[in-house]
Chain A
Amino acid sequence: MSSYLLSRILQAIMTLIVMSVLVFVGLYMIGNPVDVLLSPSATPAERLEIIQAFGLDRPVWEQYLLFVSKALTGDLGNSFVFNQPALDLILQRMPATLELAFTALLMALVIGIPLGIRAGLRPDGLVSKSIMTFSILGFSLPTFWIGLIMILSFSVQLGWLPASGRGDTVDIFGVPVSFLTLNGWTHLILPAFNLALFKISLVIRLTRAGVMEVMQLDFVRFARAKGLTEHRILRVHVLKNTLIPLITVIGLELGSLIAFAVVTETIFAWPGMGKLIIDAIAVLDRPVILAYLMITVVMFSLINLLVDILYSVVDPRVRLEGASR
């Protein structure tokens, strides 16, 4: 177990280093941020001052080492635009994004698993066919377009739900959250459902496939032969074996939800870090782009690591396979 854990941690660290180099070198090669920061009428002296202030006159590798040593102490540079620490900017907006992502994940599970089980138990029924058609639509409809249609129907036409922002927030341990106020909920529900739609379809398909596969296995037939009720077979034997593979997927999907929140946040003007990164890319605010990417990469590596560990706990075959290799 410990050797498995160690190799996974090492791999996560390697990924981090490679990603940081790629992102840094990549960003260094595009446009000159000095042009963005300065007005066209700036004197050469002002120009030089800016270049020195941001360390843009040093060699790439020196800038990178400086960046890494600072990053390890939590200093990812100041935003060119806001003139605030980039890390602070992102951390301020992170709770909003996480709230959105977790709500969406919860929706995907609460809606997706029951529908998937239903579709898996009687795959040929009309209800199951309708569920599967819905899931094809969920895969096919582009998230951003559904968001637009939601705004058009529920906000512009019907006027039921607000189209933008977070609404009233309540502080929990100093972190503002929307889901504790009614007004916050009305703001949260549309974007969260929008973000969840794709994942609902995914969870439906995975659950259905899992249930269909497990139902054919010998131990289910044996449980039936023992005279167990269908309900007990489903709850104890089928569900347990279906949900294990779902753990991996759900873990990875949380990361994907955080990444795809970029789209939903842009449409619903949700003040999360996704909106921040799109604005930062438009004006080439390098420190913010870097900080966002580094934070998401760290988050991803952590999530992947946790999923791997969790998976090896619930399914010992995984770590045994790793040890024998």
Chain B
Amino acid sequence: MTRSSQPEISVHEAVGTTALPAISPFRRTVGAMLHNPLAMAGLIIVGLLVLIALIAPLVAPQNPYDLGQLDIMDGRLAPGSESMTGMIYLLGTDDQGRDLFSAILYGLRTSILVGVVSAAIALMIGAGIGLISAYAGGRTDAVLMRIVDIQLSFPAILIALILLAVLGQGVDKIIIALVVTQWAYYARTVRGSALVESKRAYIDAARSMALPDRRVIFRHILPNCLPPLIVVATMRVAYAIMLEATLSFLGIGLPVTEPSLGLLISNGFDYMMSGDYWISVFPGLTLLLLIVGINLIGDALRDILNPRREG
């Protein structure tokens, strides 16, 4: 197993050695993002998608899960078709006469919610364990990192498959499964940078001021572990959304009552062979935009925050 805890230049140090002490790392990062066209493209894509997901009930032409608003006679209409009541289906309809545009907006909500919530929980658990591991050292560290190693040697989809076979379907279940598959990445990242940081002079200074451990960990070490953590978190949100879509596509993720983009794609799969491509293709394109957007941001962040790290 390879250990990737080589020392990296932290933002703290970089700022300290350059002549720009007045600019905070946050503003410096934002400034660099604004000058990177790919990062801007990613920010705009993700921003727009999150926005329309948030205001979906306001902008969607119909509530796709209110059966009263659906008309089975409108089933599998091509994009741009007109409904019986004169409404235009921009992206066509699915087999139950559901407006795909509305369904995608609602699906986007579910996908983003599941991705962000699971990543946030995994981040908290992982960062906590990583900090404990780095700060405690010794046997605790060895045991925790052994668990991380073992967990990371199993692919995420296998672990999620086991958990979902055990837990069953549901938004909460899939979030649990995603958290379990993701925490180890955060733990390893945080431990790596915490180990590097805790050997630096400012930590010795903080300790010699007799600050309590808790304060040293959360106010001094943790903030300096943030840059790599942010990069990993961005990439992991994208991965979580993708994994959720995959599991839902396989029919073991979310139940039909709370369709995410993956489930919409799966619904359309059956009609693909007969040429009704839009039921699968449009939700897929949306998912793609979302993931590519997040990855573009992540890539840019990595270059900005971690100039030496690659791959």
**A26 located at the interface, meaning its Cβ lies under 8 Å from any Cβ of chain B in the complex:** yes
Asked if B292 contacts A281 (CB within 8 A), the reply is: no
* Known contacts A142-B246, A259-B158, A263-B157; A163 and B273 CB within 8 A of each other: yes
**A324 located at the interface, meaning its Cβ lies under 8 Å from any Cβ of chain B in the complex:** no
A262: chain B residues within 8 A (beta carbon): 157, 161, 250
Cβ-closest chain B residue relative to A280: B165
* Known contacts A140-B238, A262-B161; A148 and B272 CB within 8 A of each other: yes
How distant is A249 from chain B, measured CB to nearest CB, in Å?
Answer: 9
Residue among A137, A145, A248, A300 making CB contact with B2, cutoff 8 Å: A248
Cβ-closest chain B residue relative to A304: B153
* Known contacts A140-B291, A142-B291, A144-B246; A281 and B280 CB within 8 A of each other: no
Flag A252-266 by CB within 8 Å of B: 1 or 0 each: 100110011011001
Asked if A248 contacts B162 (CB within 8 A), the reply is: no
Asked if B265 contacts A259 (CB within 8 A), the reply is: no
Say whether chain B's binding surface is mostly helix, strand, loop, or mixed.
Answer: helix
Interface residues of B in 42-57 (CB under 8 A from A): none
**A205 located at the interface, meaning its Cβ lies under 8 Å from any Cβ of chain B in the complex:** yes
**B21 located at the interface, meaning its Cβ lies under 8 Å from any Cβ of chain A in the complex:** no
Stretch from B25-33, B204-212, B281-289 that touches the partner: B281-289
**B155 located at the interface, meaning its Cβ lies under 8 Å from any Cβ of chain A in the complex:** yes
Cβ-closest chain B residue relative to A153: B277
| Residues of A participating in the B interface, judged by any CB pair closer than 8 Å | 11, 15, 22-23, 26-27, 29-31, 136-137, 139-145, 148-149, 151-152, 156, 163, 205-206, 208-209, 212-213, 245, 248, 252, 255-256, 259-260, 262-263, 266-267, 277-278, 281-282, 289, 293, 296-297, 300, 304, 308
A-B contact list, 19 entries, CB within 8 Å: A11-B146, A23-B162, A26-B162, A30-B166, A31-B168, A136-B296, A136-B299, A140-B238, A144-B250, A144-B262, A145-B287, A212-B310, A245-B2, A255-B153, A255-B154, A259-B154, A262-B157, A281-B164, A304-B153
| Residues of B participating in the A interface, judged by any CB pair closer than 8 Å | 1-2, 146, 150, 153-155, 157-158, 161-168, 238, 242, 245-246, 249-252, 262, 265, 269, 272-273, 275, 277, 280-281, 284, 287-288, 291-292, 295-296, 299, 310-311
